[in-house]
Chain A
């Protein structure tokens, strides 16, 4: 196998010295992590490497020599470099050499022991692959079969060269902590040797987050204790609490906030990303809610809304009554016998009458109610939308009842017709189910609209809840952090010289980011997607505007 040497781009112009890194024998690759400069004392170098090995569990060792000088190394230098091979024994011993200002390199790898297979030469062919150390350190490799997972120590042969390289660089952070301003015994060159990278804001935030998290965590535990008390378990309140989507959304947000402000540190990168995504989602929610609030409370829009509500309700009731009168009489109406038509029609008319009376009763209080509902937008846009959805559900309950009766009848008719058709055609599977039957009654557009709007509101809430904003932002601004793989570019090549490749990070596509990091949704409508909503409308399956008992809990 060709020997692959991964060399960091930050060390390309470093002075001569020793190559420090890890040798992966299964993949026949050497990952160079840093260059150690002359002068050094071998004992101190060995001590440092032993310390790094213990702290990071990575088998760091001296891999060879790096020579960056004005012309070809002289004989004395050559002998000195060879003697180093005796001081730091390593199989195979790499010798990389570059002329100052030159583009082409020379690399050799020698094995001291006699090769086991006959006919194999003592020297291996070497391929140089340059990689950006900082990007590889910070990025997370998303292999198609295996999730990003850095705590497992062993990278076996089955994981591949790339996983081994990323893993080695990520776990050797200890080696990169010293920079050239330190007064240590050895001088190293790596990506942080010009100064350790840090940010004042990040440090301040880290210091401040401790006490703030503690305070908020205790407040939140108080709130959850109050909401878990006995009063809410009694029958009317518990029933309402389980059916209304507002309560569900509030519970969901409380869970999120508890997760964000918990005092336990995140154990692995996946948990950290989830926390970050939750923070971003909550912030977006609150920002949108505040925007809505400022829009609502400006220029007395609430008053206009309240004034418009009662005439609209009256108009709707009138239209429905006309429609029912028509359905009861016309040939294209409810296709049942005359008596049943009358009964159903009168039943619906009574519902409408009741509903109109309630609306008129409530009309003086509507403006106050709307004002208070608008205040709930402080908690987030999703809460306001859930509240809106619940109000629509309550206000249009009668229409929902009509929809239920109508959809059930429609469904029954479809079943009946399809069974007749199957009988007529023998045992074949009937395809008529998919077709809207022409002799059924017309679906009222208003009913469909209301139900569809409720479904859409729930889907929007679900979307805001589950979108991983932090990961999407990371993918947009720092694409190297989420890596789907790598790509190689062949650098300028001369015959007789070793092959040089540049390795760059291939970022994860947006669809995979959303798929991998999506937050679990609150379970309002876990079975619903946009396609399912449309399908249910057309086939006459019932759409429930509130959560059902059988829905999946997260």
Chain B
């Protein structure tokens, strides 16, 4: 079962969220952001080249032009391979773990898998980034100290997603909701009572996932 909705992020770009339901114990959320636009690419290349030509007319050294070509190519490759993310996926498998994959524009995929035994809790945190935004993050257990937290992992780390409160977040939550009581001791991921999401927040805004 699949469906798709579109949202917008902090900077106004369009984002598409796809939800796939494979079985009662496995769900996938896939967030894709717009591809690299030809317009911005052309603009950046033209700026770099104009600067290079300006320097060339000043210094009369043709090395500057070759250096400009080199820099443009390297910069583009570096941007596609390390910075531009096409898609982020969250795969939740009951009693196994949570997997977060980021696919870059150059085809590189970086995956993190968190075993269910290591998850202490899932919380919604507030943060201030121009306005108040909310983001979902996973708290990991500390092996040394039983009540401590070793790491806080934000979900959908690299994209910023605006979601309306009652609709969304909800979905990722529902899939991480506490299971029926008989299986409680195993895969329990319950919401921490730091924030009651059932009542509407006083501000007219939306869920943001930022960074």
Question: A1-B183, A488-B99 in contact; A125/B111 too (CB < 8 A)?
Answer: no
Q: Does B76 contact A (CB under 8 A)?
A: no
Q: How does the 8 Å CB contact mask read for A447-489 relative to B, with 1 for contact and 0 for none?
A: 0000000000000000000000000000000000000011110
CB distance from A453 to the nearest CB of B (A): 26
- Docked-complex contact A501 and B143, CB < 8 angstroms: no
> Known: A1-B183, A1-B187. Is A490-B113 also a contact (CB below 8 A)?
no
- A41 CA / B118 CA spacing, docked (Å): 44
A4 touches B95 (CB 8 A): yes
A486 CA to B113 CA, complexed, in Å: 7
Which residues in A have their C-beta under 8 angstroms from that of B112? 485
Report whether A158 and B28 are in contact in the complex, using a CB–CB cutoff of 8 Å.
Answer: no
Which B residues lie within 8 Å of A63 (CB)? none
A490 touching B28, Cβ below 8 Å: yes
**A160 and B115 contact, CB distance less than 8 A:** yes
The complex places the Cα of A162 from the Cα of B96 at a distance, in Å, of: 9
A289 to chain B, nearest CB (A): 33
Within 8 A of A (CB), among B5-28: 22-23, 25-26, 28
B193 at the interface (CB under 8 A from A): no
Q: Which size class do A's interface residues fall under?
A: 20 to 34
Q: Are A1 and B95 in contact (CB under 8 A)?
A: yes
Q: How far is the CA of A499 from the CA of B22 in the complex (A)?
A: 8
For residue A225, CB closer than 8 A to chain B, the reply is: no
Counting chain B CB atoms within 10 Å of each CB, which of A120, A146, A486, A488 scores highest?
A: A488
Q: Mark A419-461, 1 if CB is under 8 A from B, else 0.
A: 0000000000000000000000000000000000000000000
A4 (CB) vs chain B CBs: closest residue:
B96
Chain B neighbourhood of A486, CB < 8 A: 113
Q: Which residues of chain A come closer than 8 Å to B28, judged between CB atoms?
A: 490
> A499, B26: Cβ atoms under 8 Å?
yes
CA–CA, A4 to B117, complex, Å? 15
Task: Determine if B101 and A487 form an interchain contact, defined as CB atoms under 8 angstroms apart.
Answer: yes
A1 near B186: Cβ-Cβ < 8 Å: yes
A490 vs B29: C-alpha distance in the bound complex, in angstroms? 13
- For residue B198, CB closer than 8 A to chain A, the reply is no
Q: Are B91 and A2 in contact (CB under 8 A)?
A: no
* B189 adjacent to chain A (CB < 8 Å): no
A488 adjacent to B96 (CB under 8 Å): yes
Apart from A146-B143, A485-B111, 17 more pairs, CB < 8 Å:
A2-B25, A4-B95, A117-B182, A120-B182, A127-B26, A129-B96, A145-B143, A158-B117, A161-B117, A485-B112, A487-B111, A488-B96, A493-B22, A499-B26, A501-B26, A506-B111, A506-B113
Contacts from A to B (Cβ < 8 Å): 1-2, 4, 28, 117, 119-120, 125, 127, 129, 145-146, 157-158, 160-162, 485-488, 490, 493, 499, 501, 506
30 pairs across A/B with beta carbons < 8 Å?
Answer: A1-B186, A2-B25, A2-B94, A4-B96, A28-B95, A28-B186, A120-B182, A125-B25, A127-B25, A127-B26, A129-B96, A145-B143, A146-B143, A158-B117, A158-B143, A160-B115, A161-B115, A162-B115, A487-B101, A487-B111, A487-B113, A488-B91, A488-B96, A488-B113, A490-B26, A490-B91, A499-B22, A501-B26, A501-B93, A506-B113
Listed from nearest, the 9 A-B pairs whose CB atoms lie closest are A487-B111, A1-B186, A1-B95, A499-B23, A160-B115, A2-B95, A145-B143, A485-B113, A160-B117
